[in-house]
Amino acid sequence: MYDLVIIGAGPAGLTASVYTSCFKLNHVIIGALPGGQMTYAPDILNYPGFEEITGPELTSRMVAQVKKRGGELIPSSVTRIEKEEDGFVVFTDNQQSYKSAAIILATGVERRRLGIPGEMEYTGKGVQYCATCERFAYENKIVAVIGGANAAAQSAVQLSHAAAKVFILYRGDALRADPIWLSAIEKNPRIEVVTRVQPTEIVGDGVKVTGVKIRSIQNETDVREIPVEQIFVEIGGVPGTALLLPLGVRVDQGGYIAVGETLATSVEGIFAAGDVLSHKYSIEQISSAVGLGARAAVSVFTYLKQQKAPNLWGTSQIKRS
């Protein structure tokens, strides 16, 4: 039986593992995609300690640290959690199960889809949810990024290094990205921002995307088609709460997990960290995910001590160095 199972291997889960190892808790970290959303970040400029670093590079550094500290990382998907008298059993898609006294859920958010005609048909044939994954897919091409927040802005800048032209299509009045990205976009002649428009259909020739239809937010009859060869959907995500909802965990109005100050959820023994948390705690950034992962690990340590788990007394120690 483990003291703790951490579900999710993004920056929140990876940090929780590093702290948990320092507390000498017996734990395992299960994450379908090690690094999580961070792996999609082309150019991280705001994570302290690195003036500039790519998401994959930061991921490999965090994963290396987890392993060096003794964390066991299992790249699987958790399919369900069962509550038992003395803890939980976590089941994975490769038919393994892990019993533990406590859980930290750090499942982040899942990429949101547009839900318009053509999207499913052309996913992988020009519709993408990751701007940095396949450079050859957009080299010298006319592409569109759909969305208006940081991820969309950052992706557009990254795409502009190789694409012939990048449209940013956004339904709001003005992009909501950080000033650093806004000024990079303003200065970039390859990027054209089209605001107050709603994509209504992805069009193609049956094999690949050839364009996107957009409708004006102000005038519903104003519909036009922009010819593009690739479309990158960057409209945020929905919180990965599916595993906890059957256990009756409380969520906020936006569907994010509601927690108290210790990041304990409404189900005793389950804690949460990172982007999956209510925006009262998370700002959906790596630095906040890291901080919340550390906080959750400390809370689990305290919780297990209070539970007087026999295998903890005498072996655990908080090291402050």
Ligand X SMILES: Cc1cc2nc3c(=O)[nH]c(=O)nc-3n(C[C@H](O)[C@H](O)[C@H](O)COP(=O)(O)OP(=O)(O)OC[C@H]3O[C@@H](n4cnc5c(N)ncnc54)[C@H](O)[C@@H]3O)c2cc1C
Q: What binding mask, one character per residue, do residues 56-95 give for ligand X by CB under 6 A, x or -?
A: ---------------------xx-----------------
Q: DSSP label at 243?
A: T
Query: Residue 106 interacts with ligand X (CB under 6 A)?
Result: yes
Choice between 146 and 312, CB closer to ligand X: 146
Of the candidates 240, 156, 139, the one whose C-alpha atom is nearest the C-alpha of residue 190 is 156
* 8 closest CA partner among 27, 31, 40, 28: 31
46 sits near ligand X (criterion: CB under 6 A): yes
Of 56-64, 96-104, 149-157, 203-211, which segment contacts ligand X by CB under 6 A?
A: 149-157
Q: Identify the bridge partners of residue 128 per DSSP, sorted by sequence position.
A: 232
Report the candidate in 159, 171, 151, 168 with the shortest Cα–Cα distance to residue 236: 151
Closest separation between CB of residue 113 and ligand X, Å?
Answer: 14
25 vs 22, 47, 304, CA distance in Å?
8, 27, 9
Site string for ligand X, 212-241 (x = CB under 6 A): ----------------------------x-
Please choose, out of 18-26, 278-286, 294-302, 312-320, the segment that lies near ligand X by the rule CB under 6 A: 278-286
Task: State the nearest-atom distance from the C-beta of 313 to ligand X, in Å.
Answer: 31
- 284 is a site residue for ligand X (CB under 6 A): yes
Q: How far is the CB of 224 from ligand X (least distance, A)?
A: 27
What value, to the nearest 5°, has the Cα angle with vertex 108 and ends 102 and 112?
A: 145
- Please name the residues in contact with 293: beta carbons below 8 A apart, sequence gap of 6 or more: 11, 12, 13, 14, 15, 16, 19, 104, 106, 273, 274
| Subset of 22-41 contacting ligand X (CB under 6 A) | 30-33, 36-38, 40-41
Give DSSP secondary structure letters for 10-27. SHHHHHHHHHHHHTT--E
Query: Is residue 155 part of the contact set for ligand X (CB under 6 A)?
Result: yes
Q: Which of residues 184-203 bind ligand X (CB under 6 A)?
A: none
CB hemisphere CA count around 259 (13 angstroms)? 30
Site residues, ligand X (CB under 6 A): 7-13, 30-33, 36-38, 40-41, 44, 46-47, 77-78, 106-109, 151, 154-155, 240, 243, 274-275, 284-287, 289
